[in-house]
Amino acid sequence: MDKILVSPDGDVTITNDGATILERMHVDHQVAKLMVELSSSQDDEIGDGTTGVVVLAGSLLEQAEKLLARGIHPVRIAEGYEKAADVAMYVCYFVICLIFLKFVLCMFSHLLDHHLCTVNN
């Protein structure tokens, strides 16, 4: 859904790009600036998914806030997030391996079927 942005000097921008929206905002809060930087980095590196990374980062910060309220040290929270990222990468690697294995087995099966058809003729 397109958004209309109006700058203080009256310039109008119509966009649905999260990076553009964040880029045009004037923020003073350090965390908000980091979110804008995160969105910009995602846009520069990938070219898409800017809103998604900001929503994910916001959710992680929201959960971290709850953990801080329970008295958990920020370093422990960061370590937990790092471990969670490691597990997520491992799971992604495992899924990729399963997909590759299925591909190889399908190719082998196809070759075997072709070979058996050739031998039987």
* Residues of the chain above pLDDT 90, percent: 45
Residue 22 burial (10 A CB sphere; 0-12, 13-18, 19+): buried
| Mean pLDDT in residue range 62-89 | 97
C-alpha count within 13 angstroms, C-beta hemisphere, residue 42: 22
30 burial level (CB within 10 Å; 0-12, 13-18, 19+): exposed
The predicted-structure confidence for 58-68, as pLDDT tens digits, reads as follows 999 999 999 99
